[in-house]
Amino acid sequence: MPIPPPELYPPFNIVRLSHVEYRVTDLAASRAFYIDTLGLQVTHEDAQTIYLRAMEERGHHCMILRQAEVPNVARLGFKLYDDPDLDNAADWFKAQGRPVTWTKRPFMGRVLQTTDLWDVPLEFYVQMDRLPSIAQKYALYKGVKPLRIDHFNLFANDVDGAVDFYTQMGFRTTEYTEDAETGKTWAAWMHRKGGVHDVAFTNGIGPRLHHTAFWVPTPLNIIDLLDLMSTTGYRENIERGPGRHGISNAFFLYIRDPDGHRIEIYCSDYQTVDPDHEPIKWDLKDPQRQTLWGAPAPQSWFEEGSLFDGVETSEPLLKAQPIVAP
């Protein structure tokens, strides 16, 4: 299906993605992975939760780790521009027949919780506690030196439907993969903040969270992380890469946390702030789509993802098969 034109004057103004809440089964193991190995910074910690931020971020947190019996994803968060946008968002989601709840969250102002058409749990806010800058506190830099949260990628059973819904919310498509046989969209990358994506959708059993990505300074930081993980007990957590994506041109690495949640380490994509930026189309069978160097992704990359808490999944409408590593 054709990619819908961008909605340049959406009903509310999303600035960027903001945060994710993961349910984890061993908080100590997750702490060792995200803090001691990746290098995220603790902003608050108690017996049940850990709040984290990356090195360039002034907001209180970009990730919440919460102790649970079953690992899954509780919610995806987005920052809005100004307080009236919260009320406009509530009105818009109500008009789409979605549930709307106002709630209190630690370290945040008013928070609107709702879902998209596939019940992905979303929350929107304007104000989050601001913390002192640590961007030049170089003694704190550890692991892969994560600078900021960059994007979410979701498995979607209806990518064309997801693109249409998120376009109405103001997300603009930068690149997409089309199945030549059906003309349907197999994957799409959509942004608000002016990079290649804040959120992406990949055809598959959904909804599930495929991965959360963090931006790092250079590809050399990724190499350093590989050396660290391979010698500190995390060799089996390395899933795919390093490599350079055809889509986005970014340098990447995919790793798995102790509960199997997938994290992408990511850098070197490009600017997309122009409102008339034209989406780039890729064919599903193009071997350079996944990796510019031609290496296909493993089967796990297309099949495994994190469930959203309490959300049922369904098989994808599109049955097209991508190129998969043997």
Distance CA 187, CA 282 (A): 9
* Rounded (5°) CA angle 13-17-20: 135
Percent of the chain with pLDDT over 70: 100
Mean pLDDT of 213-236: 98
SS3 159: helix
Sheet holding 121-125, edge to edge: 41-45, 49-53, 63-67, 14-24, 72-80, 121-125, 111-115, 101-103
Question: Strand 121-125 relative to strand 111-115: parallel, antiparallel, unpaired?
Answer: antiparallel
Give the pLDDT confidence score for residue 85 in this predicted structure.
98
Q: How many helices (H) and strands (E) does the chain have?
A: 6, 18
Distance CA 188, CA 288 (A): 16
Cβ distance 92 to 85 under 8 Å? no
Distance CA 189, CA 174 (A): 6
Q: Retrieve residue 16's tokens.
A: 């960027």
Residue 276 contacts by C-beta under 8 Å, 6 or more apart in sequence? none
Give the pLDDT confidence score for residue 326 in this predicted structure.
82
Q: Is the pLDDT score of 211 beyond 90?
A: yes
Unique residue bearing structure tokens 């108690």: 46
Percent of the chain with pLDDT over 90: 99
Give the pLDDT confidence score for residue 159 in this predicted structure.
98
- CA-nearest of 245, 254, 315 to 286 is 245
Quick count: other Cβ atoms within 10 Å of Cβ 235?
Answer: 10
Distance CA 316, CA 206 (A): 7
- The pTM (predicted TM-score) of the whole model is 0.98
**What tens digit of pLDDT does each residue of 22-74 get?**
999 999 999 999 999 999 999 999 999 999 999 999 999 999 999 999 999 99
Give the pLDDT confidence score for residue 129 in this predicted structure.
98
CATH 3.10.180.10 domain residues, the chain = 14-130, 144-307
Give the pLDDT confidence score for residue 271 in this predicted structure.
97
Q: What are the CA-CA distances from residue 146 to residues 42, 98, 102, 163 (Å)?
A: 13, 35, 31, 29
Give the pLDDT confidence score for residue 253 in this predicted structure.
98
Q: How many Å separate Cα 317 from the centre of its chain?
A: 22
Fold held by 144-307: 2,3-Dihydroxybiphenyl 1,2-Dioxygenase; domain 1 (3.10.180)
Mean pLDDT of all residues in the chain? 97
Element (H, E) at 84: helix 83-95
Mean pLDDT of 270-299: 95
Q: Which CATH code is given to the segment(s) 14-130?
A: 3.10.180.10
Mean pLDDT of 219-236: 98
Q: How confident is the model at residue 2 (pLDDT cuts 50, 70, 90)?
A: confident
In sequence order, the β-bridge partners of residue 217 are none
In sequence order, the β-bridge partners of residue 75 are 21
Tell me the CA end-to-end span of the chain in Å, nearest whole number.
Answer: 30
Give the pLDDT confidence score for residue 126 in this predicted structure.
98
Q: How confident is the model at residue 114 (pLDDT cuts 50, 70, 90)?
A: very high
Give the pLDDT confidence score for residue 110 in this predicted structure.
97
Residue 227 contacts by C-beta under 8 Å, 6 or more apart in sequence? none
Question: What is the chain's percent helix, strand, coil content, to nearest 5?
Answer: 20, 35, 45
